Amino acid sequence: MTDLHVIILAAGQGSRMRSTLPKVLHPVAHEALLSHVLRTAKAAGAASITGVVSPHMPEVAACFDGHNLAVQDQPQGTGDAVKAALAIMPADQLGIAVVLYADTPLVQVATIQALIQPILEDQAATTVFGMRLTDPAAYGRLVTDEADGSLIRIVEAREADEATLAIDLCNGGYMAFDLGRCRGLVDRIDNNNNKGEYYLTDLPELAREVGHKSLVVETDPEDAIGVNDRADLAVVEAIMQRRLRSRHLAAGVTLTAPETVFFAADTELAADTVVEPHVVFGPGVRVTGAATIRAFSHLEQAEIGDGAVIGPYARIRPGSQIGPKARVGNFVETKNVVMGEGAKANHLSYLGDATVGAGANVGAGTITCNYDGYVKSRTNIGDNAFIGSNTALVAPVTVGKGAMVGAGSVITAEVDADALAIARGQQVNKAGRAAAFRARQDAKREGLTDD
């Protein structure tokens, strides 16, 4: 198997984003644009990944930790960037190089495979991602040989004459080339053009001059959509969400209103999970069995067990582990909580830094008071315990197995197993006091009216 070497160009400034955050670090589906491209490169089986970055973006360089890193001192075009990448690769490196872009997160493994296949089969020395567009605008045009369909050259729109601009076959940007045959040709790319830059798009023409064939590979045009500004970012987000929804549906997940559900790139849902409308998955959510996520819930960095029911209107925050058949109901928030099998918190509660035992029931309005302004402490609720409504559990505190806590209690000390704890002021009834109060108030009101 020929080695695959992926070069990711990530040195662009991204000024049109109007942001202090480098463009390629802006998130789509809760992951940086660059992270999506890195994941795809790894999934395609890359033997090596080389990033090309600007010297002024250490945050971008950090994303290539564990991979090769080349620095493009001055932004002098894609050809110059690829030259920088090849300069740090072993001179005798063989295989196929594929050039991707850090701001095009929609590229798929299938696209990379389609690009390298003609080279593997020795049909071409270089391949270029092509797409047919009704409005080519500023895309470069792919000029092909009418006889055999091979690629003659790529012409940048700003360099093209009227006849060339009429071509609807456009350059999508991605390129693959055989290192053995084309590495030296990359070194020959010059900057004799209107912008004075080194265009990687010159490579197919240089290859043709020495007898090497280049081919156009046409796949899904969506794969080539890049991000230049916030509007582009929104477009790419919408496409990514559509793809993620399709992926989960195909895996056996029920989405009752797919267009209203938003996923993170790493969301894991078991088959037969049901997701109701307007659910948002932040990063790090894993549903291990068929669960129900009811409408308007938000989950992040959490694990949900088989048969659990979340929501509606629940917020599951980082560190939450919701066990099998557990229930987290409407307007309940959990954070760093472990809920055992069949545990319930059905209404209007906050559970933070707590363990809720199997079969335990947490009543409406319960709060685990986990923070004293300096440190956070833990609450432990035993199996089959019952916490009455409107209870405050002041951590650190333990409610034993099978214990009960009376409604309205403020629990500050341990409750033994099977004990009943009541911690509230004693009710006192004063006979006739309500009537007397009303009489006094009526008299005051009458006196004010007389004045």
Amino acid letter, residue 359: G
Q: Note whether 165 and 136 are within 8 A (CB).
A: yes
Strand-pairing partners, residue 392, are: 367, 410
Amino acid letter, residue 331: F
Catalytic residue among 36, 212, 248, 347: 347
Among residues 151, 243, 241, 257, the alpha carbon closest in space to that of 201 is found at: 151
| Alpha carbon distance 169, 133 (integer Å) | 7
Q: Which residue has the tokens 């029911």?
A: 309
Burial 345-372 (b: 16+ CB within 10 A, else e): bbebbbbbbbbbbbbbbbbbbbbbbbee
Q: Note whether 386 and 370 are within 8 A (CB).
A: no
For residue 405, give Cα distances in angstroms to 173, 401, 426: 65, 12, 15
Neighbours of 168 (CB within 10 A): 14
Where is 258: in which H helix or E strand?
none
| Alpha carbon distance 62, 69 (integer Å) | 10
Where is 242: in which H helix or E strand?
helix 230-250
Secondary structure percentages of the chain, helix, strand, coil, to 5: 25, 30, 45
| Alpha carbon distance 350, 365 (integer Å) | 8
347 carries an active-site annotation = yes
- Residues carrying an active site annotation: 347
